[in-house]
A and B are shown apart, each in its own frame.
Chain A
């Protein structure tokens, strides 16, 4: 393991909503799980992101919240 972020999931881009500065990237994961990522528009361009492309979502453990019913 080379990165300190503990949660890395492989998925496929379902949708990209480009805003003025940021872009919302919706990633489909196996098991009907959807992750939403907000990254800069520039990163969408530099990574060549497009719907259908396989990507990894990377989340730091300290950014994961837990809720109960």
Chain B
């Protein structure tokens, strides 16, 4: 299936300075594309350019194979549904807010009624139909705003941090409902967020914008586990980055021509093993997500890791260190361990309690060779 949107060589300037550069990006029919990046990375600018609310200095955007500039602006914009972080509702009833866009498009009253009722119902706000929009809570207003966008049956739904202003429980419920609506409608969606959990949950593909430039596009697994460079790694939560050098394959038997190998990596006095592709002598960054690190109580003299099985494990990387910091993160505990360099682990709070982890305590940290992602330096 051809892409519904194709972006080529896009440059957007503000005061003659580049604020967004996208060499190439396709948006595929029926996909949910999550666009992630920190504040000021150009995410909103991208949505504005794609919805023709901003004129690019250079480049081309094609909608269903035809350049946007060769299509009527209004006709194109009516193919889009927009939802912003702070819902822009008219000072009308909830029903009329959802109905207005359909009426503008000249839809018959019967159709308008059916669409409005259907989507108020699906977003769980049908009981609010007669309420004034300004009397709604943040979560309710965002549900109405989503109902309005869905009711238009747009070709592309564009959302700009739609859950960013909501409290955690409201956000979680709306996120769940929205996710199931995307799964049933299969509407093409471009979803801008700086929340990595939202991107991982909703995105079938993830596009990374950093400092106004598109830096990586791929599956959530590829972007979150195999970020293309250290900046993206930092953005997606890869907290342990160790500079090292590939010394060679771990054993002659692990040589698989053209594919991944079990590699030995030297980092100062340490040696690690990682599954990846790099030739001997190559300087690399060894990247590790905190969820991939397991901690072991460090009993002096006992070879690590010695677990309750009393045996050895398949884990190929073991380090000893001292706990520097423990920070609760919801049900999890973020543990920073000084192993000569900082290693960050994310474990459950329950485990931290049971292991009686305290700052200053010696501890073992271990991670699988397959959990390591290598970035060439």
Contact = CB atoms under 8 A, between A and B. Distances in A.
Contacts of A56: 307, 309, 311
B345 interface: yes
Interface string B349-376: 0111011000000000000111000000
Given A56-B309, A61-B348, A47 B254 contact: no
A3 B370 contact: no
Report, as a range, how many residues of chain B touch the other chain.
35 or more
Interface of A, helix, strand, loop or mixed by DSSP: mixed
Interface in A6-37: 6, 8, 20-22, 37
Contact of A47 (B295, B312, B345): B312
Contacts of A40: 250, 254, 262, 273, 275, 314, 316, 369-370
Given A39-B314, A60-B291, A62-B332, A2 B307 contact: yes
B261 interface: yes
B305 A4 contact: no
Contacts, number: 98
B259 interface: yes
Contacts of B251: 42
Contact of A1 (B294, B308, B312, B316): B308
A47 B314 CA distance: 7
Interface string B309-339: 1011111100000000000000010000000
Interface string A48-69: 0000000010101111000000
A60 B307 CA distance: 14
Contact of B254 (A21, A37, A62): A21
A43 B109 CA distance: 68
Contact of B355 (A4, A21, A58): A4
A46 B251 CA distance: 12
Contacts of B57: none
A25 B210 CA distance: 40
Given A21-B262, A21-B275, A58-B313, A4 B332 contact: no
**Which 4 A-B pairs have CB atoms at the shortest separation, nearest pair first?**
A20-B256, A43-B314, A39-B314, A4-B351
Interface of B: 250-251, 253-254, 256, 259-262, 273, 275, 291-292, 294-297, 299, 305-309, 311-316, 332, 345-348, 350-352, 354-355, 368-370
Given A2-B308, A42-B262, 19 more contacts: A1-B308, A2-B306, A3-B294, A3-B305, A4-B347, A4-B348, A4-B351, A21-B254, A21-B259, A22-B275, A22-B370, A40-B250, A40-B273, A40-B369, A46-B312, A56-B311, A58-B313, A60-B294, A61-B347
16 contacts: A2-B296, A3-B305, A4-B295, A4-B345, A20-B259, A21-B256, A21-B261, A21-B275, A40-B273, A40-B314, A40-B316, A42-B251, A56-B307, A60-B292, A60-B294, A61-B347
